[in-house]
Amino acid sequence: YAVVAPTRDLEGMRIAISAGGTREPIDPVRFLGNRSSGAHGVALATRAAARGADVTLVGANLQVAAPAGVRLVEVSTTAELRDAMLLASRDAHATIMAAAVADYRVADVSDAKRKKDAWGANPTLQLVENPDILAELSMRAPRGVVVGFAAETEPDADARRAIAQAKLARKGCDLLVLNQVGMQLGFGDVDTAVEILAPSGVVATAAGAKMSVADAILDSVRSTLQEHA
């Protein structure tokens, strides 16, 4: 085996990372949400900080502990996450949207708890589309490297890659991390597999523990930043 010296190769780099999943209130006690724990974004923040970066982690309803040594901004709704990420990414060299963002929010949030007698037997919730934060961050100029995530269930690898490549183009980001969801990869901490796409196509693949996949993503961010410099 080899003893590897700790690398501080991201020293001087400012990184804004969103993690977790946004929640959209229905009334004071209820919300629409998703199952994202924030583990991927937290792994990225952990590794970026360990490699010397100045990290702002915008955490939406995190189900895992945030690492020490990062600036944690806690948010809940998509609107709050948008505000926090626009601010955190303003002077960032890299912006990573690992959060699962609610595509819709409730049109009219009730100030009072909704009662069954008023709601009736077959209620409908009117939803409105949320702003696309990744597209907005990608549109700003000047800006640093912008990274998105996509978890696609399409079983065919080529078709899945085509969906992700189209998503990258639509959002206008520099890198898109494609999660091959539903794939059986191994046991223990071998828990995730990704392809990292750029406008030119696949630039890297990584499989294994969340921390090593996070390192591979940060390697691609670092090379992209160097190409842009």
> Are residues 19 and 45 in contact, defined by beta-carbon separation less than 8 angstroms?
yes
What is the β-pairing status of strands 104-106 and 175-180? unpaired
Answer yes or no: is 134 a known binding residue.
yes
Question: By C-alpha distance, which of 11, 17, 13 is closest to 66?
Answer: 17
Q: Identify which of residues 84 and 101 has a Cβ nearer to ligand CTP in the complex.
A: 101
Tokens of residue 142, six digits:
């000047």
Answer yes or no: is 187 a known binding residue.
no
Smallest distance, ligand CTP to C-beta of residue 101, A: 4
Question: By C-alpha distance, which of 206, 220, 126, 110 is closest to 168?
Answer: 220
Smallest distance, ligand CTP to C-beta of residue 26, A: 18
Smallest distance, Ca ion to C-beta of residue 33, A: 13
Helices and strands (H, E) in the chain, number of each type = 6, 12
Phi-psi region of 115 (alpha: psi -120 to 50; beta: other; left: phi over 0): beta
Q: Which long-range contacts (CB under 8 A, 24 or more apart) does 73-76 make?
A: 75/22, 76/22, 76/23
Contacts to Ca ion from residues 11-50, by CB under 5 A: none
Residues 82, 217, 190: CA angle, nearest 5 degrees: 110
Contacts to Ca ion from residues 95-154, by CB under 5 A: 103
Q: Which residues bind ligand CTP (CB under 6 A)?
A: 97, 99, 101, 103, 130, 132-134, 148-150, 167
Q: Identify which of residues 29 and 166 has a Cβ nearer to ligand CTP in the complex.
A: 166
Residue with the CB atom nearest Ca ion in the bound state: 103
Answer yes or no: is 115 a known binding residue.
no
Q: Identify which of residues 38 and 67 has a Cβ nearer to ligand CTP in the complex.
A: 38
Answer yes or no: is 171 a known binding residue.
yes
Smallest distance, ligand CTP to C-beta of residue 184, A: 22
Answer yes or no: is 163 a known binding residue.
no
> Are residues 64 and 42 in contact, defined by beta-carbon separation less than 8 angstroms?
yes
Which amino acids are annotated catalytic?
34
Q: Identify which of residues 11 and 103 has a Cβ nearer to Ca ion in the complex.
A: 103
Q: What is the distance between the alpha carbons of residues 65 and 182, in angstroms, rounded to a whole number?
A: 25
Given the rule CB under 5 A, which residues bind Ca ion?
A: 103
Q: Which residues are annotated as a binding site?
A: 103, 113, 131-134, 149, 167, 171
Annotated binding site for CTP: 103, 113, 131-134, 149, 167, 171
